[in-house]
Chain A
């Protein structure tokens, strides 16, 4: 090669460097990844799986499980004074190291080689798997983690299939009550320390730690403390084995019978992304789903367990009309006609609607349509303000305050005027949607003394339902589709995991049918997608939106300037290189 050619020909390393990338040779193929990428993430980009237990992108990497050991190679250092030699392909030859290295904590470098297969790597994995299993109780038949256990998975892929261990196993504490919601089996634990790091780094309550040493090492709770953090149950999801199990879920159902539905949490304005795990007509558990813009990979225990509220005996399952002070079950057509007929008796100014920031955008929009059909201008929503926890829980305990503002306008202040109107007799008919006016809105029975008609829709037989003349049963968060706008201004989607209880209906359908009954004119809203289309045409912020565009991870709709503290901290740690993020 002449001098001129050397200067004009750009080597792959220079091409990559210009883009802030490096060339890495993974299992025979060259790929370019950003500088500073961890080897394990580079392998993921190359679609090569590197098995691991202790590594988690949201936590620090102690490199203790040794499952991610791979073979690494670098070009040999040229002799002093000599120039590196580049082959025809522009790369230097890779000298492979005889000892494996962990892929989780090491970062890539230019011209690095990684082998995720081959004799050395496979033998190493087999060895680590064997070590992990020798003192493991192998009680898969009665273990809750069975079916979603990394130990089972990697055992199949990388294990020996036969045990050489004939010694007595190490005995450790079993069925340890380490917290109100979490149970510990120390014999199943593989000491990956994920739970310990999570409690320290994310939950900021370093209540877990190791005691003893060597093979007797035991995960334990700090003396006089319990794992009682509101984020404690995330350790159950993090635990790659069956050491930490949920007291709520354990022994309830084998996971392989459960259906997963991607949805969102509706217990506060954050809208943590979730998976709803169901079988038949029952929710068995709710777990967080990764969304780096909303909840990282976590969710608070209080929200995770809130699903029990919609599975009680107090669910409304049929439309009901009050006859002689007693609610009688009826069918939807009769109920809707009764509502329409009753409402027609009032002047528009005599009708008030109490809507909810717990309703989906679709429900809110139809509520808006219902109000204009009736000519009613009195629409209020109920505020729910709690305390923010500085992590994920927002002070706003309504999941869709931003959606309500975009669709209905500022409505929270109107509650008082409705109350006053009820008391002075100017409001005579009240429509309550997805709210309880007593507990949440602070109404008293005296406030309703003059009301001539109360129509309500809810999922629970609450106090409002009790005083309602007509009761319309709605669907819980898990039983319907719809969208909400969280505190960040992110539009997110609820998906239907279950059918509504009994004869209950999805709330948007209930309101649509009321409008139909009132106008007697057909509309074209057969599917929720069509409601979104109408919203997009009418509400500027939703312009061009369709239901499918929202996607599984949601989509930024408006700028609110709100930050989620937990994410802010996570991003700081990621940019400092402490975690991958």
Chain B
């Protein structure tokens, strides 16, 4: 690794462990297939194509790789959900709808290292027996779609994609499909509906688990860009060796996208769980901006629950129970879950003491009210209601009672919806209210009448 030179000013931090991002910002690197192959590209595919598909899945299971899209579900286990004795075609979908606010990792892979993704996808498709694969590309990546299509054509010319890959009788077509700018298309069943040409209304689960009843009602594996890239490295290192990266049950590396109020925001590929919040924010990101103090962190994209920097968490049960200071949180799936939040998509949003929480809350509410697909009642009506209440809090027109209503509305959404959007929109509200209730209440006034804009206008008209 030491012989790799990076562009000036873009060198990885010494605490990073670059696997997926090895070639990002690399000096002399370009997204062409020649460049990729000079660096040992497609060697893992050549190896994989001579393996038994089940062995590849076995390696992925051994590696302990957990999905990098948000839910953190073990990838190998997901692959194993294809019903035994299946006679329908199997599809592989790469979820490149990277739309979780605060997340910006996949865009670098598809822009700068497209062949890494293609190699990962071909290996994964070979493992699950898919002959058609889709890359669902968010609308906001027009350039990436062009790069990706060019890369697929180049890979086809070299015999890595298409018919009879590397003389193995294995065929795979990869299609790039561009979305139409909707957050909900990142939800895997919504994505599938969108690919089928319909409105991206997420499907009910059960019965529509993609591994059994996915696109065109056939078994479908949907994986995040980063997860699929990891497959290549798992094969290169071997599942057991890969599992030595990171910590127990939280293996490998993952890319954290740090944004907000830190001196050095950016993307950092670290070994999962091998870094604490303190190390990330102070050592890697250089601490808070001049004269500011850290206030709170949203650790896994906007839908994860916010953590206060002065919080202490109760971790573990019974005799293993212990207190964990915010700064000592290990950045892995299980620790963040134990702290009541989640590692999500790796989008770490940092807020310092200059940020008003009512504004943060309102900003998030606006996003989810705008992005709710409108299929099911609680999310459709609730997300906009929450936005309207937080609008009034920001405008100083709310009463303390409104905070209670807002919290209750969030709980009325949480767990009642078709897809996880319900939680995505309600968790931030629940967390911000429970952790910053005093600050929010300070923005309200009991004297404010609970009047709508319409009512206020009427009052004004009548000269009251």
Contacts and interface: CB of A to CB of B under 8 A. Distances in A.
Contacts of B455: 166
Interface string B383-406: 111001100100000000000010
B412 A127 contact: yes
A216 interface: yes
A124 interface: yes
Contact of A99 (B207, B378, B415): B415
A63 B378 CA distance: 12
B376 A215 contact: no
Interface string A54-92: 000000011111110100000000000000000000000
Interface in B159-192: 182
Contacts of A65: 376-377
A479 B340 CA distance: 69
Contacts of B454: 168
A67 B378 CA distance: 10
B376 A66 contact: yes
A381 B164 CA distance: 71
Contacts of A275: none
Given A124-B416, A212-B374, A214-B372, A167 B380 contact: no
Assign chain A's interface to a size class: 35 or more
B452 A167 contact: yes
Contact of B374 (A66, A105, A191): A191
Interface stretch (A131-139, A470-478, A480-488): A131-139
B13 interface: no
A170 interface: yes
Summarize A's interface: helix, strand, loop or mixed: loop
Contacts of A251: none
B375 interface: yes
Given A127-B416, A210-B199, A216-B374, A191 B380 contact: yes
Interface in A40-63: 61-63
Contacts of B445: none
B206 interface: yes
- With a 10 A CB-CB cut-off, give which of B182, B207, B385 has the most chain A CB atoms: B385
B377 A214 contact: no
B182 A213 contact: yes
Interface string A538-549: 000000000000
B204 A102 contact: yes
A213 B185 CA distance: 13
Given A64-B377, A131-B378, A132-B381, A100 B415 contact: yes
B182 A131 contact: no
Nearest to A98: B415
Contacts of A98: 415
Contacts of A66: 376-378, 416-418
B450 interface: yes
B375 A215 contact: no
B5 interface: no
A167 B405 CA distance: 12
Contacts of B375: 62, 64, 191, 217
B452 A214 contact: no
Contacts of B206: 105-106
Contacts of A99: 415
A131 B389 contact: no
Contacts of A105: 204, 206-207
Contacts of A212: 374
A237 interface: no
Interface string A112-147: 000000000000100110111011000000000000
Contacts of A214: 369-374, 380, 383-384
Nearest to A216: B374
Nearest to B198: A209
Given A105-B204, A131-B381, A167-B388, A217 B374 contact: yes
A69 B452 contact: no
Contact of B377 (A166, A190, A216): A190
Nearest to B454: A168
A210 B452 contact: no
A9 interface: no
B201 interface: yes
B451 interface: yes
Contacts of A130: 412
Interface in A521-570: none
B373 A213 contact: yes
A127 B451 CA distance: 22
Given A105-B207, A213-B374, A69 B380 contact: no
A128 B418 CA distance: 13
Contacts of A62: 201, 204, 375
A165 interface: yes
B464 interface: no
A131 B377 contact: yes
Contact of A215 (B204, B207, B369, B389): B369
A272 to B, nearest CB: 32
A166 B373 contact: no
Highest count of chain A CB atoms <10 Å: which of B201, B383, B392: B201
25 contacts: A61-B204, A64-B201, A66-B376, A66-B417, A99-B415, A128-B378, A132-B381, A134-B385, A166-B452, A167-B385, A167-B392, A167-B453, A168-B388, A168-B453, A191-B377, A191-B380, A214-B369, A214-B371, A214-B373, A214-B374, A214-B380, A214-B383, A214-B384, A215-B374, A215-B381
Interface of A: 61-67, 69, 98-100, 102, 105-106, 124, 127-128, 130-132, 134-135, 164-168, 170, 190-191, 209-210, 212-217
Given A65-B377, A66-B376, 10 more contacts: A62-B375, A64-B377, A69-B416, A124-B412, A127-B413, A131-B377, A131-B380, A164-B405, A191-B374, A214-B371
